[in-house]
Amino acid sequence: MNREEIKKILPHREPMLLVDEVVLEDGKSHGKYLVRGDEFFLQGHFPGNPVVPGVIQCEMLAQSACVLLIGRAEGMTPLYTGLNNVKFRGQVKPGDLFETQCELVRSRGRFYFAKGSGFVNGRLCVAAEFSFALVEAE
């Protein structure tokens, strides 16, 4: 699915929509985001050596995972409730195609638990377990 289709599921909009496309397959989401280099989070992080912040990589994972809630997330706001066992293994820089693989591990009511990994050129850059809640949009 493309950005317009993703916007039907997620409430995120530019500049915080951090997934360009997602493929859902076998209960997993496979997302992609091309780091253009002009993103707000690269301004000052770091001058002359821009690197996508780890917290932004985690946000990219979460957005990719939330697409798995198609049919349940529309009209809701997914809010992080936890990040666990986060490991950063490589840098993500302008020009990189950041690819995610995420899956929902379990759910309890409106709470969802997931795990995901982010890669550049097949190289693991981030892995994390995370949770989020779906809350009604105000």
Catalytic residue positions, numbered = 45
Q: If DSSP codes are grouped into helix, strand and coil, which group holds residue 114?
A: strand
* Rounded Cα–Cα distance for residues 2 and 134 (Å): 22
Q: Is the dihedral of CA 48, 32, 14, 106 positive or negative?
A: negative
Q: Can you list the alpha helix ranges (DSSP code H) found in 1-138?
A: 3-6, 54-66
